[in-house]
A and B are shown apart, each in its own frame.
Chain A
Amino acid sequence: MNLIQKIQAPQIKAGPLGFKVGDTVKVHFKIVEGKTERIQIYEGLVIAMKNAGIGHSFMVRKISYGVGVERVFPVNSPRIEKVEVVRAGKVRRAKLYYIRSKVGKKSKVKVLLPNRKEEAAQAPKA
Chain B
Amino acid sequence: MIGLIGKKTGMTQVFDDTGRLIPVTVIEFAPNVVVGKKTAEKDGYDAVVLGVYDKKKTRVTKPYGGQFPEGINPTRILRELRDYEGEVAVGDKLGVATLEGLRFVDVAATSKGKGFQGVVKRWKFGGGRNTHGSKFHREPGSTGQSTWPHKTFKNVKLPGRMGGERVTIQNLKVVRIDAEAGFILVRGAVPGPRTCDVLVRDAVKKTK
Contact = CB atoms under 8 A, between A and B. Distances in A.
Contacts of A8: 12
Interface of B: 9-10, 12-15, 18-19, 21, 26, 28, 181, 183, 185
Given A6-B181, A7-B26, 7 more contacts: A4-B10, A7-B185, A11-B15, A54-B21, A74-B15, A76-B15, A78-B15
Contacts of A74: 15, 21
Interface residues of A, number: 15
A81 to B, nearest CB: 11
A79 interface: yes
A94 B13 CA distance: 25
Contacts of A7: 12, 14, 26, 185
A4 B9 contact: yes
Interface in A36-81: 54-55, 74, 76-79
Nearest to B11: A4
A55 B21 contact: yes
13 contacts: A3-B26, A3-B28, A4-B10, A4-B12, A7-B12, A7-B14, A11-B14, A54-B13, A55-B21, A74-B15, A77-B21, A78-B19, A79-B19
